Copies of this chain bind each other. A is one copy, B any other.
Amino acid sequence: MEERFIVIYHIIGDKSTALEKAKVICLEQTVEVGDELVLDGFIRDQVIGELEDFFAITNGIYEAHISYAIDTTAYELTQLLNIIFGNTSIKAGIRVHRLNLGAGILSQFSGPRFGIAGLRKIVNVYDKPLLCTALKPMGKSAILLAEFAYQFALNGVDVIKDDHGLTNQPFCPFEERVKACVEAVATANQKTGKHCIYVPNITAPTTDIMGRVYFAKKEGVGGLLIAPGLTGFDTMRSLSENNEINLPLISHPAFLGSMVTNPNNGFSHAALFGQLQRLAGADASIFPNYGGRFGFSKKECQSIAESCKEKMGHYFPMFPTPGGGMSLENIPDMLTLYGNDVIFLIGGALYSRSADLGDNVRYFLSLVGRDTLRDTRQCVST
């Protein structure tokens, strides 16, 4: 047991306080006893966290690089998260800034199964941003949502997902919705020759998830939406690594917000919406865009996008998927920030711009330089 990985924490306090906190993390995240009880040579030398580096990054904030033996994670995502931040999450003034996991950890997981290139191949759109929208509002019947899906697919949306609050409500049962939406999108695709996908929300009770996933797979969905804050990150990981399922996963941030809204606790935006999501197998990570109805800054969004695409072992890059009260007017600025490898998740604005959903979609596509002749490679038999 020699290989180690590093977690970079940002710690609030004066130098001696922050240093003491860093030393306590080394114990708290592993042996959970005071240093005086660490008598065993193996435990002292290998099991406890080790402070590898410690320095000020600004007045009152210190950066601590703490390494842990990879064996302490038991090569389980649940236990890896526990080592990174389990008990320390309960302490004030400590934030996970970044993970440097190394080959020893990264090789134990698969990362995104499709990633940016794989998802582009499925929807057959290259070199331009993808457009995703959500079926809403909750309360509409499966048939009415499928009609929206048809209009969206017919006019060029690439990814049509359930609103993340749609699960299996009596007024819109899961199986009825999946059947209707798959059929609606397939019918539209036949007319357009495009490859729009329908992505149902399979966030569900532990004992129901696999049933819904297999039903959706059998019906022919093009991907799955999951909120790991509700199901646990490892449930997403297990779906990603399941060869029978073999579908792209889009991750939703519901219930995860408390992990980023306090700048002195939780995770950095990049670690939570970039690194952790990718580690757990998301092909696209939804996060609130700057300037929308959530409070993320442009810089925070940029850090997420970079984390989605940066070098991370053998893992495919995943799509940053900003959404959340985005206005169509912001598109030029967003194009500058995110580049082409992005999925724009536009929900309400596609419904509200005008009563003509199709026109709204076409208007959006024009804003990102998309038209069917330019951005879709026609399938040619060779």
Contacts and interface: CB of A to CB of B under 8 A. Distances in A.
A1 interface: yes
B266 A87 contact: no
A137 B43 contact: yes
Interface residues of A, number: 85
Contacts of A165: 29-32, 72, 79, 82-83, 86
Interface string A116-143: 0000000000000000001011111000
B234 A231 contact: yes
A371 to B, nearest CB: 28
Given A256-B90, A265-B261, A170 B1 contact: yes
A352 interface: yes
Interface string A69-93: 0011010111101110111111110
Interface stretch (A57-65, A204-212, A304-312, A358-366): A204-212
Contacts of A43: 137-140
A29 B293 CA distance: 13
Interface stretch (A33-41, A150-158, A186-194, A334-342): A33-41
A218 B315 CA distance: 39
Contacts of A288: 90
Given A254-B87, A256-B90, A347-B32, A74 B167 contact: yes
A321 interface: no
Nearest to A24: B293
A288 B15 CA distance: 26
B254 A258 contact: no
A40 B139 contact: yes
B238 A89 contact: no
B205 A76 contact: yes
A78 B230 contact: yes
A38 B137 contact: yes
Which residue among A32, A140, A163 has the maximum number of chain B CB atoms within 10 Å of its CB? A32
A13 interface: no
B86 A255 contact: yes
Contact of A34 (B74, B76, B348): B348
Given A91-B261, A206-B234, 20 more contacts: A31-B136, A32-B163, A33-B347, A33-B352, A34-B348, A37-B352, A47-B137, A47-B138, A77-B205, A81-B230, A82-B164, A82-B165, A82-B230, A83-B165, A89-B256, A205-B237, A205-B238, A230-B234, A258-B262, A262-B265
